[in-house]
Structure 1
Amino acid sequence: MGGHELLHLGEKVLAAQPFSRLVGARLVQFQPGEAVLEIPVRQELLQQNGFVHGGVLSYAADNALTFAGGTVLGPNVLTSEYKINYLRPAVGEKLIGRATVVHAGKRQAVCRCDVFVAKGSAEEVLCATAQGTIVMTSPESETAGATRPG
């Protein structure tokens, strides 16, 4: 699959996620071993001090990690775990989550993501960093789990 086809597939997956649509996320790079996600900063995504809410930074890291892992494991993946460090308040016009695969096995990938904030054409500022484990799932197990009685 070529780079353009892979990006188109990633955009379709992102568009199928209601929460991603809510925050306005865009997949701007999606190639083997890496993914870049952007989120325009708007008033609804801020906390009481005017900084981008930590949950939005966390979403950017989590989803970028999962997309990066998906480039090497395939489309049926989920985040198994991740850790995030908030480094400084995010103030700007756009969040950028840049994720790469650190190591991939047959069923899981360890990925790293840095989350930056940018203001206009000014330099990007690192505001969070994360690392996580992305695991393969099977479509059958997801469907079975969703319909299994409680």
Structure 2
Amino acid sequence: MKRTGKGMIPFWDYIGIEETLLEKGYAELKITIQPQLLQGRGTVHGGVIATLIDAAVGSAVRSSLSEAESASTVELKVNYTRPGIGEYLVAKSTLSHRGKTLAVGEVKIEDSSGKLVALGSATYMIFSAKKA
């Protein structure tokens, strides 16, 4: 199973996303809330939450890929339920479908007190390496 690490996804490093658990078809990611991630009212910017949803589904998808496969986001859906506040956010993602060319995952994002901040889903296209 392919793993991420420091430097594997530079954007994750830049905003502070950490992959804390990865199992086949399941991933948990954590992001510590820092001032640079906030919008004008002092809560986590919606774009950060959307990024966390995309990243969490991406990890769950990656856990299902063979060495000859890769994947890319083709659709993303976010439902914001409450402001992102506290010390950190945790995204828990499960694959609900893994076909030959498409994978669909669902995500719940909770704050550090366990309150639901957002629900999301994403669809990924699966690519197979072409044989020479």
Same fold (TM over 0.5): yes
1:70 CA drift (Å): 1.7
- Partner of residue 113 from structure 1, selected from 102, 107, 117: 107
- Report the secondary structure of 1:133's partner residue: strand
1:131 CA drift (Å): 1.1
1:89 CA drift (Å): 0.4
Number of residue pairs aligned between Structure 1 and Structure 2: 128
The alignment-based identity, stated in percent, is: 31
Single out whichever of 68-77 and 87-96 deviates more from structure 2: 68-77
Q: How well do the aligned residues superpose, as a CA RMSD in angstroms?
A: 1.7
Distance 2:129 2:64 in 1: 17
1:139 CA drift (Å): 5.9
User: Structure 1 unaligned runs (5+)?
Assistant: 1-5, 141-150
Matched, 1:101 2:91: no
Higher relative contact order (CA 8 A, sep 6+): 2
Distance 1:57 1:15 in 2: 21
Partner of 2:34: 42
- Partner of residue 55 from structure 1, selected from 23, 39, 47: 47
Partner of 1:145: none
Matched to 1:46, the amino acid is L
Matched, 1:81 2:75: yes
Moved over 3 A (4+): none
- Report the secondary structure of 2:3's partner residue: helix
Partner of 2:56: 64
Does the CA-based 8 Å contact 1:73-1:109 persist in structure 2?
no
Higher gyration radius (CA): 1
More helix by share: 1
User: Structure 2 unaligned runs (5+)?
Assistant: none
Once the two structures are superposed, what CA deviation does each residue of 1:29-83 show, in whole Å capped at 9, x if it has no partner? Answer: 0010101111111111001100001011011000101111122234611111111
